[in-house]
C-alpha cells in the first residue's frame, strides 16, 4: 500500500511540474534608456514561435512554452537584446538606441518595415558609406553597393548625372531613371544645365543622408504606381537621436586629376607620319602648298605641345559640414550647414554648393506629433565646353576631343604671348605646316568663353500625425520642391564657336515647382498570433515648369562678356529654342496590407490608382498592384527540433508579382494635336507639330520575383538570391504612318512595343573575422541580366539611335538586347597590302586603299575591283550587347584596434563598348594620332591592326563608317574607393574635451583592370540614353581624386 501511495504522489508531482511548465506566465515592462515606455516592442522566445508585443505603456505578458530558455526583445530603432529567463517571472527591460538599426529596419513606400518581415525586394545603403566620398551628388557614390542597381559615371566632368539602372533599361523612349523620393517627396532629377552640366541631385548634401533604399520589385514599388517601372530610390535624411546635443564637424580636402590618358604622337612623330601619309596618297609634300614641318621657339627649342597640359589640371577641392543633433522624449532635431568647393580635372570646371538643413520632430502630447524639414541649397556649376555631354560628341570646340586632334608641332601662344590662331580659317595657327590644320585653340576658348549653371532650391515639408486610437494613426504631409535655374553662356568673337555669331551671350532661366500632399491612415495591431498592418492613402501632386531663353549676338566690344553688355541683335525662340511651359497633375489613391502569422507566414498586398493629366479623357486613370508572400522556415516549430538554430538563424522563401507603370519622361500634353509657332523667313507662322492619339496610355511592367534569404552562424553569413523577370509592355514608340496623311514626321506615338529584362541577383554579406582586435566585414553582390526587345512599332522595323546626330553604332532590334552594336565586320589588316579587310554581310572580304583612284579603292583580296564599298546599311551585323550582362561590387571593411580600412571594388562586363574615340585617334587626316600609330603597316609581311598610313583616309580607321574593329569588350574591375582611417582612443579624446576624432585618407578611382584600349570602359557619351548606351565618343576621361579628411564629434 505504501508503495502504491508513493507511486501516486510521484505521478501527481510530475504531472504538476509538467502542468506548471506548460502554463507558466511571465510579465514585464520595456523602456528606453531614459525610462520611457517602449510600445510595440517584440518579445519572443528564442527558438520558438511564441511571442507578443508590448502595450502603449511598455507592459507585456507572455505564456512560456516548455523548454523556454531565452527571451529576445527588439523594437524599431533599438538594439535587440537577448535575456536568460531562468526562474524569473518579472522582467524590467531597458533598450538602448543602436546605430545598427538601419540593418534591422527598411524604409518602404510611405512607411517602414522590419527587414525580417520584408517580402519585397529592397536594397539598402547606409549614408555612412557615402558621406566622406569626394563626389558632387550622392547618386555618384552608389556604384557597386547594391545588387540590381547599376550606377556608372559617364566621364569625369563635374556634376554630370550618373547612369542609374535598376535591373536594366526599362523603356525605349521614356525615362529609365528611377523615381527619387526625398523624405517622402518625389523630387526633380536630371541635367538642367546647358554647356555646364547641372545634376539637380547635386543639391542634396550627401552628409545629410541617413539611408538610401532602392525598391526593385512590384511588391515594393507598386505603391508608387505609374512612376515605378524603373524602380524607386528613397532618400531619408538624418534626425536627432536620444541624448544630449551632439555637434559634429566633417571635412576633407583633396586633389583631382585625369588618369589613364592615351599617349599621343609628339611633334616629330606627327610631322613624319603625316608626310608619309601624303606620299602614300600620291600627293607628297611639295614645299609650297602641302606638307608638314616642325618649328622652333625663340630660344631655338623644338615646339612640341602636349595639348593635355592646356586642357587638364590638378584641381583642388575642399568640403566642410557641421551639424547639431539631439533628442529628448518630446523633441528630435537635426541642424546642418555644408559648403563644398571642388575643382575638376578640366581647366575651368568647378562646382560649389552651400546648403542648410533643419529636420524637426516634436511630440505635442500623447496623440499629436508635428514634424518639418527645410532644406535650402545654392549651387554653382562652371564648366568649359567639354564635348562630353549628350549631343556634344562631334563639336569641334569640345575639350574631350581637342587634345586628341590638335597638331603637336604648333604652340598655343605666339612668341609675344598672344594666342596662336589663324583668324582667316578660325583654327589654331599653322606654324610651319603647309597643309591646312583644323580645330580651335583651347587656350583661347578656355580663357575667353564662359559657361555657368546656377541653382537656388528649396526642399521642404511639414507633417502632422494624430493617434486616433490604439494602433490607428492619421498622418498628413505637405511638401514642396522649388528649383530656380539660371544658365549663362558667353562665346567670344575672336576665335572658336563664337566667331559665327560675332560673339554671343546667352541667358536662360528655368523654374521648376512642385507641391505634393499626402494623407495617410495607418492601422497596426497584433491579435494573438496575427499581426496586421493596413495603410490607406491619398496623394495629390502638381508640377509646373517653364523656361525662357534669349541669345544676344554681335559683340560690340571685347569688354562685353556678359549678357547685359552691348550687342547688335537679340535672338529668341524659335530660332534657338529653350522656351517652354508645362504643367501636370497627379491624383492617386493607394493602399497596403501587411499580415503575418507567428512571423512564419508573411503576406503583403499593395494597390494604387493613379490619375494623370497628361492622358486623354477615358485614359487618365490606371490601376497598379503588387502582391508578395514569404515563408520564414526558421520560425516553424519543427525547425527547433532539427537543432539547427545555432547554425541557421534565418531561412526565408519569398515571391512577388505585380503591375507597375511608367510616365517618367513623358511630355505634359502627349495626346493632343497641336501647332507650334515659327518663322518663315521674317514672317511669323504656325505649323502642324504633333498629331493626336487619344488612346495613348501608360507604359506598364509586369514584375515577377522569386527569392531566398538565409543567415548563418549568428548572422555572420547572410546570403540572398533572387530571380526576377520584368515584362515591359505598352512601350511608347513612334508608329509609322503613310506620308499621304500629312502627319508630322509621318509617325504617331503609340503604345506598341515590348521588352523583357530577366536575371539573377546574389548578395553575400559576411563577417569572416571578428575578435577583440580585428573585425572584417565583407559585402559582395552580383547581378546577372539579360535584356531582349520583343516587339517594336508596326513591321518591327529597326531603330537606330544616333550619337550626336552623326553616327549610329547602336541598334534596337527585335530579338536583340537594346542598344546592341551594329557594325561592318572587319578582320584585321592584309599583311601583303597593308589594307583594312572588311566583310560583306554575305561573307565576302574586300579591302580598302585610299591611295588608289576613287573607282578602284575597294577590291577583293585577289586585287579585282569590288562592285561597291562596304557600308553599314548593306553589311552591318550585330556585334554584341551594349548593356552589361553582369555587374556588381565587393565592399570590404577591416578594423584593427583604432585603424579602419575600406576597399570598394566595382565590376561590370559581358558587354561591349563602341570606342568611337579610337576612330579619331587613328584618323589619317590632319588630326594628331595615338602613339600606337607608330606600329602601322609599312612593308609586306607585317602583322598589325593599323593599316598603311594614307593621308585623307577616314574609312580604314572607322570614322566614315562604324566598324567592328572599334567595338571592344567592356569587362573591367575598378577600385572605386580605398580609404584608410584612424580613430583616436577615447581616453585621449576625452582629455581634449571631444566625443570622437577620426582622420582618414582616401582615393576615388584608384585603378582599373581592363583590356579596353580607351580611357575607361565606364563611359557613356549619350548619358542616360536608353537605346545608345556604352558609347565612347570624344568624351573626357574619368578622374582620380585623393583626399585627406577629419571627422570630429564635440
Q: Which three cell numbers stand for residue 591?
A: 493602399
Dihedral angle computed from the Cα positions of residues 164, 165, 169 and 171, in that order, rounded to the nearest 10 degrees? -70
Is the alpha carbon torsion for 932, 938, 942, 948 positive or negative?
positive
Distance in angstroms (rounded) separating the CA atoms of residues 999 and 989: 13
pLDDT higher at 42 or 976: 976
pLDDT confidence of residue 19:
37
pLDDT in tens, 993-1029: 898 999 999 999 999 999 999 999 999 999 999 999 9
Asked if 108 and 219 touch (Cβ cutoff 8 Å), the reply is: no
pLDDT confidence of residue 714:
84
Burial class (CB in 10 A: 0-12, 13-18, 19+), 447: middle
CATH 2.170.130.10 intervals, the chain = 103-242
Query: Which whole number is the average pLDDT over 823-830?
Result: 98
Query: Which whole number is the average pLDDT over 166-171?
Result: 96
Pairing of strands 747-770, 368-382: unpaired
What DSSP element (H or E) covers 736?
A: strand 717-736
State yes or no: pLDDT of 74 exceeds 90.
no
Instruction: Check residue 930 and report its DSSP letter.
Output: B
CATH 2.60.40.1120 intervals, the chain = 24-96
Residues 6+ apart with CB under 8 A from 469: none
pLDDT higher at 148 or 7: 148
pLDDT in tens, 852-871: 999 999 999 999 999 999 99
Residues 6+ apart with CB under 8 A from 440: 396, 397, 402, 421, 426, 427, 428, 495, 496, 497
Q: Is the pTM of this model over 0.85?
A: yes
Least confident of 67-76, 340-349, 356-365, 965-974: 67-76
pLDDT confidence of residue 70:
84
Distance in angstroms (rounded) separating the CA atoms of residues 211 and 960: 49
State yes or no: pLDDT of 40 exceeds 80.
no
Query: Which whole number is the average pLDDT over 215-231?
Result: 95
CA atoms within 13 A on the CB side of 325: 19
Least confident of 62-66, 72-76, 780-784, 808-812: 72-76
Q: Which residues pair with 421 in a beta bridge?
A: 428
Confidence of residue 6 (pLDDT cuts 50, 70, 90): very low
Q: Which three cell numbers stand for residue 85?
A: 529567463
Dihedrals φ, ψ of 201, to 5°? -70, -15
Confidence of residue 16 (pLDDT cuts 50, 70, 90): very low
Distance in angstroms (rounded) separating the CA atoms of residues 809 and 966: 10
pLDDT in tens, 246-295: 999 999 999 999 999 999 999 999 999 999 999 999 999 999 999 999 99
State yes or no: pLDDT of 15 exceeds 70.
no
Query: Which whole number is the average pLDDT over 729-743?
Result: 92
Q: Please state, rounded to an integer, the average pLDDT across all residues of the chain.
A: 92
Residue where the block lists cell 508596326: 794
Pick from 553, 570, 562, 575: which is nearest to 504 by CA?
Answer: 553
Distance in angstroms (rounded) separating the CA atoms of residues 486 and 475: 36
Q: Which three cell numbers stand for residue 537?
A: 492613402
Distance in angstroms (rounded) separating the CA atoms of residues 401 and 395: 8
Query: Which whole number is the average pLDDT over 322-331?
Result: 92
Residues 6+ apart with CB under 8 A from 443: 310, 412, 413, 419, 420
State yes or no: pLDDT of 2 exceeds 70.
no
How far apart, in Å, do the first and last CA atoms of the chain sit?
A: 80
Asked if 780 and 906 touch (Cβ cutoff 8 Å), the reply is: no
pLDDT confidence of residue 1:
40
Query: Which whole number is the average pLDDT over 89-112?
Result: 75
Instruction: Give the fold, CATH level 3, of 103-242.
Output: Ferric Hydroxamate Uptake Protein; Chain A, domain 1 (2.170.130)
Residue 918: other Cβ atoms inside 10 A: 23
State yes or no: pLDDT of 21 exceeds 60.
no
Asked if 346 and 311 touch (Cβ cutoff 8 Å), the reply is: yes
pLDDT in tens, 412-428: 999 999 999 999 999 99
The second-level CATH assignment, the architecture, of 24-96 is: Sandwich (2.60)
Distance in angstroms (rounded) separating the CA atoms of residues 525 and 957: 70
pLDDT confidence of residue 34:
64
Is the alpha carbon torsion for 911, 917, 918, 920 positive or negative?
positive
pLDDT confidence of residue 77:
57
Q: Which residues pair with 343 in a beta bridge?
A: 350
pLDDT confidence of residue 576:
63
pLDDT in tens, 969-989: 999 999 999 999 999 998 888
pLDDT higher at 729 or 691: 729
Q: Which residues pair with 608 in a beta bridge?
A: 590, 624
pLDDT confidence of residue 860:
97
pLDDT in tens, 781-820: 999 999 999 999 999 999 999 999 999 999 999 999 999 9
Classify 345 as helix, strand or coil: coil
Q: Which three cell numbers stand for residue 167?
A: 535591373
Query: Which whole number is the average pLDDT over 516-523?
Result: 97
Total count of residues recorded for the chain: 1050
Amino acid at each position: 500500500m505504501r508503495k502504491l501511495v508513493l507511486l501516486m504522489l510521484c505521478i501527481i508531482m510530475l504531472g504538476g511540474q509538467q502542468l506548471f511548465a506548460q502554463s507558466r506566465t511571465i510579465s514585464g515592462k520595456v523602456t528606453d534608456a531614459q525610462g520611457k515606455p517602449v510600445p510595440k516592442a517584440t518579445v519572443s522566445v528564442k527558438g520558438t514561435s511564441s511571442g507578443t508585443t508590448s502595450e502603449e505603456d511598455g507592459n507585456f505578458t507572455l505564456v512560456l512554452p516548455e523548454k523556454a530558455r531565452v527571451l529576445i526583445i527588439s523594437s524599431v530603432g533599438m538594439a535587440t537584446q537577448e535575456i536568460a529567463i531562468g526562474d524569473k517571472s518579472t522582467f524590467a527591460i531597458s533598450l538602448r538606441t543602436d546605430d545598427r538599426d538601419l540593418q534591422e529596419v527598411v524604409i518602404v513606400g510611405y512607411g517602414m518595415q522590419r527587414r525580417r518581415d520584408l517580402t519585397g525586394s529592397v536594397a539598402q545603403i547606409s549614408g555612412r558609406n557615402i558621406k566622406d566620398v569626394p563626389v558632387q551628388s550622392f547618386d555618384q557614390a552608389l556604384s557597386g553597393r547594391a545588387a540590381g542597381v547599376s550606377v556608372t559615371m559617364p566621364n569625369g566632368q563635374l556634376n554630370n548625372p550618373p547612369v542609374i539602372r535598376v535591373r536594366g533599361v526599362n523603356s525605349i523612349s521614356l525615362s529609365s531613371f528611377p523615381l527619387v523620393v526625398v523624405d517622402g517627396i518625389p523630387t526633380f532629377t536630371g541635367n538642367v544645365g546647358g554647356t555646364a552640366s547641372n545634376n539637380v541631385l547635386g543639391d542634396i548634401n550627401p552628409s545629410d543622408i541617413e539611408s538610401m533604399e532602392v525598391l526593385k520589385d512590384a511588391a515594393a514599388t507598386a505603391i508608387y504606381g505609374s512612376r515605378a517601372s524603373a524602380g524607386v530610390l528613397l532618400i531619408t535624411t538624418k534626425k536627432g537621436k536620444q541624448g544630449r546635443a551632439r555637434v559634429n564637424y566633417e571635412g576633407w580636402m583633396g586633389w583631382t586629376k585625369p588618369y589613364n590618358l592615351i599617349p599621343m604622337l609628339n611633334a616629330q612623330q606627327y610631322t613624319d607620319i603625316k608626310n608619309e601619309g601624303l606620299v602614300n596618297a600620291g600627293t607628297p609634300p611639295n614645299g609650297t602648298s602641302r606638307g608638314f614641318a616642325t618649328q622652333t621657339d625663340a630660344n631655338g627649342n623644338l615646339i612640341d605641345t602636349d595639348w593635355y597640359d592646356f586642357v587638364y589640371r590638378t584641381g583642388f577641392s575642399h568640403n566642410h559640414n557641421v551639424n547639431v543633433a539631439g533628442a529628448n522624449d518630446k523633441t528630435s532635431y537635426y541642424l546642418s550647414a555644408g559648403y563644398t568647393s571642388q575643382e575638376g580635372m578640366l581647366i575651368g570646371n568647378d562646382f560649389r554648393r552651400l546648403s542648410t538643413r533643419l529636420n524637426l520632430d516634436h511630440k505635442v502630447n500623447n496623440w499629436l506629433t508635428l514634424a518639418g524639414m527645410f532644406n535650402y541649397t545654392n549651387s554653382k556649376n562652371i564648366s568649359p565646353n567639354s564635348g562630353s555631354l549628350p549631343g556634344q560628341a562631334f563639336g569641334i570646340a569640345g575639350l574631350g576631343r581637342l587634345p586628341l586632334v590638335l597638331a603637336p608641332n604648333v604652340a598655343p601662344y605666339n612668341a609675344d604671348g598672344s594666342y596662336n590662331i589663324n583668324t582667316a580659317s578660325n583654327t589654331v595657327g599653322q606654324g610651319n605646316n603647309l597643309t591646312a590644320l583644323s580645330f580651335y585653340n583651347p587656350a583661347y576658348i578656355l580663357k575667353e568663353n564662359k559657361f555657368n549653371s546656377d541653382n537656388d532650391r528649396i526642399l521642404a515639408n511639414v507633417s502632422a500625425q494624430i493617434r486616433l486610437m490604439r494602433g490607428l494613426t492619421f498622418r498628413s504631409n505637405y511638401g514642396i520642391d522649388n528649383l530656380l535655374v539660371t544658365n549663362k553662356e558667353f562665346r567670344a568673337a575672336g576665335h572658336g564657336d563664337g566667331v559665327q555669331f560675332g560673339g554671343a551671350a546667352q541667358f536662360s532661366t528655368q523654374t521648376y515647382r512642385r507641391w505634393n500632399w499626402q494623407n495617410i491612415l495607418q492601422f497596426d495591431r497584433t491579435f494573438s498570433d496575427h499581426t496586421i498592418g493596413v495603410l490607406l492613402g491619398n496623394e495629390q501632386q502638381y508640377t509646373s515648369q517653364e523656361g525662357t531663353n534669349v541669345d544676344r549676338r554681335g559683340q560690340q566690344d571685347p569688354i562685353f562678356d556678359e549678357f547685359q553688355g552691348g550687342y547688335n541683335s537679340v535672338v529668341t525662340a524659335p530660332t534657338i529654342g529653350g522656351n517652354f511651359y508645362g504643367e501636370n497633375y497627379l491624383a492617386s489613391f493607394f493602399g497596403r496590407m501587411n499580415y503575418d502569422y507567428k512571423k512564419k507566414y508573411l503576406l503583403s498586398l499593395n494597390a494604387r490608382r493613379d490619375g494623370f493629366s497628361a492622358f486623354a479623357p477615358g485614359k487618365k486613370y490606371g490601376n497598379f498592384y503588387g502582391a508578395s508572400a514569404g515563408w520564414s522556415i526558421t520560425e516553424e516549430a519543427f525547425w527547433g527540433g532539427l537543432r539547427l538554430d545555432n547554425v541557421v538563424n534565418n531561412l526565408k522563401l519569398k515571391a512577388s508579382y505585380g503591375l507597375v507603370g511608367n510616365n517618367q519622361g513623358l511630355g505634359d500634353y502627349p495626346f493632343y494635336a497641336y501647332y507650334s509657332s515659327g518663322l518663315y523667313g521674317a514672317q511669323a507662322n504656325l505649323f502642324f507639330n504633333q498629331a493626336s492619339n487619344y488612346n495613348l496610355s501608360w507604359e506598364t511592367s509586369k514584375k515577377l520575383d522569386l527569392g531566398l534569404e538565409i543567415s548563418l552562424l549568428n548572422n555572420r553569413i547572410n546570403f540572398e538570391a533572387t530571380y526576377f523577370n520584368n515584362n515591359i509592355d505598352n512601350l511608347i514608340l513612334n508608329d509609322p504612318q503613310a506620308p499621304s496623311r500629312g502627319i508630322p514626321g509621318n509617325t504617331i506615338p503609340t503604345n506598341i512595343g515590348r521588352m523583357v529584362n530577366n536575371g539573377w541577383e546574389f548578395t553575400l554579406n559576411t563577417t569572416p573575422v571578428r575578435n577583440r582586435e580585428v573585425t572584417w566585414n565583407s559585402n559582395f553582390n552580383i547581378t546577372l541580366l539579360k535584356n531582349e526587345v520583343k516587339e517594336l512599332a508596326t513591321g518591327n522595323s529597326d531603330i537606330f539611335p544616333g550619337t550626336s546626330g552623326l553616327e549610329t553604332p547602336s541598334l534596337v532590334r527585335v530579338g536583340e538586347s537594346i542598344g546592341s552594336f551594329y557594325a561592318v565586320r572587319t578582320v584585321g589588316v592584309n599583311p601583303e597590302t597593308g589594307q583594312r579587310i572588311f566583310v560583306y554581310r554575305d561573307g565576302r572580304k574586300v579591302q580598302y586603299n585610299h591611295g588608289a583612284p576613287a573607282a578602284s579603292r575597294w577590291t577583293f583580296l585577289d586585287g579585282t575591283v569590288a562592285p561597291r564599298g562596304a557600308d553599314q546599311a548593306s553589311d552591318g551585323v550585330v556585334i554584341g550587347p551594349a548593356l552589361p550582362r553582369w555587374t556588381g561590387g565587393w565592399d570590404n571593411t577591416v578594423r584593427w584596434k583604432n585603424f579602419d580600412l575600406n576597399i570598394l571594388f566595382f565590376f561590370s562586363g559581358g558587354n561591349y563598348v563602341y570606342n568611337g574615340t579610337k576612330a579619331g585617334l587613328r584618323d589619317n587626316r590632319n588630326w594628331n594620332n595615338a602613339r600606337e600609330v607608330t606600329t602601322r603597316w609599312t612593308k609586306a609581311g607585317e602583322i598589325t591592326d593599323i593599316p598603311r598610313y594614307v593621308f585623307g583616309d577616314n574609312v580604314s580607321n572607322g570614322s566614315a563608317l562604324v566598324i567592328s574593329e572599334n567595338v571592344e569588350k567592356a569587362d573591367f574591375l575598378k577600385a572605386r574607393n580605398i580609404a584608410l582611417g584612424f580613430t583616436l582612443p577615447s581616453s585621449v579624446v576625452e582629455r581634449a574635451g571631444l566625443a570622437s576624432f577620426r582622420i582618414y585618407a582616401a582615393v576615388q578611382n584608384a585603378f582599373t583592370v581592363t583590356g579596353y584600349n580607351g580611357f575607361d570602359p565606364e563611359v557613356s557619351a549619350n548619358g542616360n540614353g536608353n537605346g545608345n548606351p556604352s558609347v565612347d565618343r570624344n568624351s573626357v576621361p574619368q578622374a582620380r581624386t585623393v583626399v585627406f579628411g577629419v571627422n570630429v564629434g564635440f
